[in-house]
Structure 1
Amino acid sequence: MVDNKNEIIKVCLLAGKVMLQSGAETYRVEDTMVRIAASFGIDNPQSYVTPTGIIFSISETESTKFVRILERSTDLHKVTEVNSISRRISSKELSLEEASRLLKEVDQLKHVYPTYIQILAASIVSGCFTIMFQGGWVDFIPSVIVGGVGFSAMVYFHKIVEIRFFAEFLASIFIGLLAYLFIDIRFGLELDKIIIGAVMPLVPGLLITNAVRDLMAGHLVSGLSKGAEAFLTAFAIGAGIAVVFAFI
């Protein structure tokens, strides 16, 4: 008989919650939870993960625990840390209490870069994408400015508007208007190249990647839901640019 069943469940759920909130694939979350439970002597753990919730039980006959996931972001450092803790648990290097303590520390970590660093990175990336998509160097600086303004707008609207996809929609409108203004004053040559480069920091690349990986792993519900979320985000970006083109 395994002792401390409730503590094992708490550790597994905490590990799964941290990973899912940090952008991990659902199949990776399930696998990690099962491995942790098995390492602590659970014979037949059961886990089911969707992008918005985690269902876990230590056996088919035991009561099931559920954790609701309301917020998700991208923090691959946390995913790496939880994976490292999971491997240490599997190799019997950590006790249940130590694993719980380390996971709580990871949950409290704040490794997100300051907003100004994110905006600076988005600006540089925008200019580089413009060149990559065969834009001229004369459009590099306009793309840097437009991309930085667009990403700043998205960050700002995310803070004041709780409706998902609305921030991306408004940010893309800003990008389209500013890019058109630069072309109108002859600060840049190719409108399409500037816009393409500037919207790239808004594109949901991680969502698309995770959706494909989940589908390939057979997690159809998670794969389709993440794919739908990525599609709606991409649609919001495209709709914002289309609105600008409709009125210029």
Structure 2
Amino acid sequence: MATERGQLVLKTALQAGRIMIQNGSEVARVDDTLTRIAQNSGYPDSKVYVTITGIMMALSSEGNAQVEPVKNRTIDLEMVTRVNDLSRRYAAHDISLVQFDEALADLEAHPHTFPVWLQLVAAAFVSGTLEIVFRGNYHDALVTFLIGFLGYAVFLGVNRLARVRFLSEFLAAIVIGVLAIETVKWGWGNSTDDIIIGSVMPLVPGVPLTNAVRDIMSGDLVSGIARGMEAVMSAVAIGSGIAVILQLM
């Protein structure tokens, strides 16, 4: 049987790893963080196995292994950074193991997410400025700004109302396609293609795709392929939504 301290080490490490995976960390970073937590707790021979759907960890001297499932995944790299900071503070003996565990629980209970209005404004700026930077299309920048704003609002709204994977990307792409075509018809925009390309950019799964490549290059083939397929499915959902509208309109 594991000692009480060993159980706390496992609980804290697994919780830290789950938070990191849920918020978009690559597998190698999670593996390294959990290993260091165990080493700094006096368990240098720990065994860690990390995938994007679950984490298994054992403290060899304790003889027990525990599994932590990962059910939801999003992108919030600030959460990953906060867990890393707590891990470094624990390694530097600035906080105790109990304080580390309590800080993780507080982090999950009170996530420091940006307000929805700021996320929407950021998505709008990404959409509009890409029209200028990559296409040199100043005329359509304002229209793309507004459509990017509305498209991302649909994406966030559907995510909150329906826990169906890839549905939010599909419906947001449909709304973007309809608005892009209609604004050109009304004479508010010049290029439907440019407006659509700029407006869907906030929906593109750039971080998951990058992490998939990093996982594969690190040798984490299971997680890399799984994350890559997840990114591809998101891209397919976006493309399908646009394709449906272009065919119908």
Q: Deviations over 1:103-130 (max 9, x none)?
A: 2222223211121211111111111111
1:131 and 2:125 matched: no
Aligned residues: 248
Alignment TM-score, normalising by the size of structure 2: 0.94
Equivalent-residue separation in structure 2 for 1:135 and 1:243 (angstroms) = 27
Structure 2 residue matching 1:66: 3-state secondary structure = strand
Query: Equivalent residue for 1:41?
Result: 42
Deviation at 1:14, TM superposition (A): 1.4
Structure 1 residue matching 2:117: 3-state secondary structure = helix
**Relative to structure 2, which stretch is displaced further, 85-94 or 208-217?**
85-94
Deviation at 1:142, TM superposition (A): 0.9
The answer to whether the Cα contact below 8 Å between 2:27 and 2:223 also exists between their aligned partners in 1 is: yes
Deviation at 1:98, TM superposition (A): 2.2
Query: Equivalent residue for 2:29?
Result: 28
Query: Equivalent residue for 1:212?
Result: 213
Query: Equivalent residue for 2:244?
Result: 243
Structure 2 residue matching 1:194: 3-state secondary structure = helix
Deviation at 1:76, TM superposition (A): 1.7
Equivalent-residue separation in structure 2 for 1:233 and 1:45 (angstroms) = 36
Query: Equivalent residue for 1:102?
Result: 103
Give % identity.
39
Alignment TM-score, normalising by the size of structure 1: 0.94
Structure 1 residues 134 and 231 mapped into 2: Cα distance closer, same or farther (>3 Å)? same
Structure 1 residue matching 2:135: 3-state secondary structure = coil
- Aligned letter for 2:123? A
- Aligned letter for 2:226? S
Unaligned runs of 5+ in 1: none
Structure 2 residue matching 1:54: 3-state secondary structure = strand
Structure 2 residue matching 1:12: 3-state secondary structure = helix
**Relative to structure 2, which stretch is displaced further, 164-173 or 85-94?**
85-94
Query: Equivalent residue for 2:223?
Result: 222
**Relative to structure 2, which stretch is displaced further, 4-13 or 234-243?**
4-13
Deviation at 1:193, TM superposition (A): 0.6
Query: Equivalent residue for 2:146?
Result: 145
Structure 2 residue matching 1:187: 3-state secondary structure = coil
Q: What value does the CA root-mean-square deviation take over the aligned residues?
A: 1.7
Deviation at 1:133, TM superposition (A): 2.4
The answer to whether the Cα contact below 8 Å between 2:158 and 2:168 also exists between their aligned partners in 1 is: yes
Unaligned runs of 5+ in 2: none
Equivalent-residue separation in structure 2 for 1:135 and 1:145 (angstroms) = 18
Query: Equivalent residue for 2:195?
Result: 194
Structure 1 residues 60 and 209 mapped into 2: Cα distance closer, same or farther (>3 Å)? farther
Deviation at 1:178, TM superposition (A): 0.5
The answer to whether the Cα contact below 8 Å between 2:6 and 2:62 also exists between their aligned partners in 1 is: no
